Amino acid sequence: MNIRPFRNIERRKTKVINVGNVKVGGENPISVQSMTNTLTSDVKATIKQIQDIQSEGADIVRVSCPDEVSSKALKEITKHVDVPIVADIHFHYKRAIEAAENGASCLRINPGNIGDKKKIMEVIKSAKDHNCSIRVGVNAGSLERDILEKFKEPCPEALVESAIRNVNILEDADFINMKVSVKSSDVFLSVEAYRQLSSKIDYPLHLGITEAGSFISGSIKSSIGLGILLKEGIGDTIRISLSDDPVQEVKIGNEILKSLNLRNRGVKIISCPSCARQGFQVIDTVKILEERLSHIKTPITLSIIGCVVNGPGEAAMTDVGITGGKKGSNMLYLSGIQSEKVMNDDMINKVIEEVEKKASELENI
């Protein structure tokens, strides 16, 4: 049983591009990305982190290539991972060429610091030769000098002008396998820049609030900014930028998409904040279930409600549900229908059993 969304979001129509084996844009699922924070030259550590990020549900992983050792390390790294790798390039166009030659599926270029048009053309040629897509990544903190002089400060119009300029360079070279981002650490500057850009181009847009901050503040800023844009149908791939473990970025990204009914993956838990009416310790129960059900990738809804005020109503709309009862006697619901009473001591294991059973059923349909 899946909750029917009250209103479906109509996504903006965009071109479809390929990032390795992942299609981005059009009607394809909005992909979730993250970025490693290991030294890319440390091949073993980088492979391990990429695998951890992918296991959490990332579709695409970006790695930084600040030097030749890093860009050439991609040759070994890409042999041991099966998720598309984006090479993050700044300041030196040769790193982009090396990354394309060594297995990158996409090149992220910041046009404000990659070099002159001739160097960009060499990067484009390498991308074509190695079937690499390109992300035109415009950041408020690294705009071209002439654009900053024109607008006096980073603003939505400045970011959009930079993006359009560089899209035109790629198009003039007959290159269209690209996506575009216009990021700022300011939520409303970013939102307005993406709105303006989405009205001018039909390439897929990579959404993000750059340098968003720590886990809590960064998650909130990203949820607000990306939530606004996604609700308006803008955005084809997202990255949550946190000063934290990259795995956490993927968790937040997937939760944002879940909350908007744009994409479902794993167990979606509906739980109450708990109060004096609760028949069991809701908060502790939810924490345990999140951890022990993290291996399930099939979309399933689970309600954990501490009492009968809202419990039966929520359970009626979820695949599996528990409603707290008196003296630790709680009601288990399956597909919205009362199933049996479960005591506190048995409740967690019973819920896990039923969720796993439901996941198996759905996988075999």
d(CA 323, CA 58): 33
- In which band, very low, low, confident or very high, does the pLDDT at 112 lie, cut at 50, 70 and 90? low
Q: What is the pLDDT of residue 79?
A: 95
Mean pLDDT of the chain: 93
Domains of the chain and any CATH numbers: 17-259 (3.20.20.20), 267-363 (3.30.413.10)
CA dist 187 and 2 (Å) reads: 32
Q: Which residues pair with 181 in a beta bridge?
A: 137
Reported confidence tier of residue 4, pLDDT bands at 50, 70, 90 = very low
Collect contacts of 188-195 with beta carbons under 8 A, ≥24 apart.
188/225, 189/140, 189/154, 189/155, 189/156, 189/159, 190/225, 191/225, 191/228, 191/229, 192/156, 193/156, 193/159, 193/160, 194/229, 194/234, 194/235, 195/156, 195/229, 195/232, 195/234
Query: What 3-state class would DSSP assign to 112?
Result: coil
Both tokens of 301, joined, read 């809804």
pTM: 0.89
pLDDT at 8 over 80: no
pLDDT tens for each residue of 172-225: 999 999 999 999 999 999 999 999 999 999 999 999 999 888 999 999 999 999
Q: Token pair for residue 222?
A: 């990203």
Instruction: Look at the chain and count its residues.
Output: 365
Q: Which of 8, 11, 10, 7 is nearest to 207 (CA)?
A: 11
User: What are the backbone angles phi and psi of residue 165, rounded to the nearest 5°?
Assistant: -55, -45
Q: Is pLDDT at 349 greater than 50 in this prediction?
A: yes
Rounded to an integer, what distance in angstroms lies between the CA atom of residue 282 and that of residue 274?
A: 6
**pLDDT computed for residue 109 by the predictor:** 87
Q: Residues 137, 159: contact at Cβ < 8 Å?
A: no
Least confident of 14-18, 101-105, 197-201, 360-364: 360-364
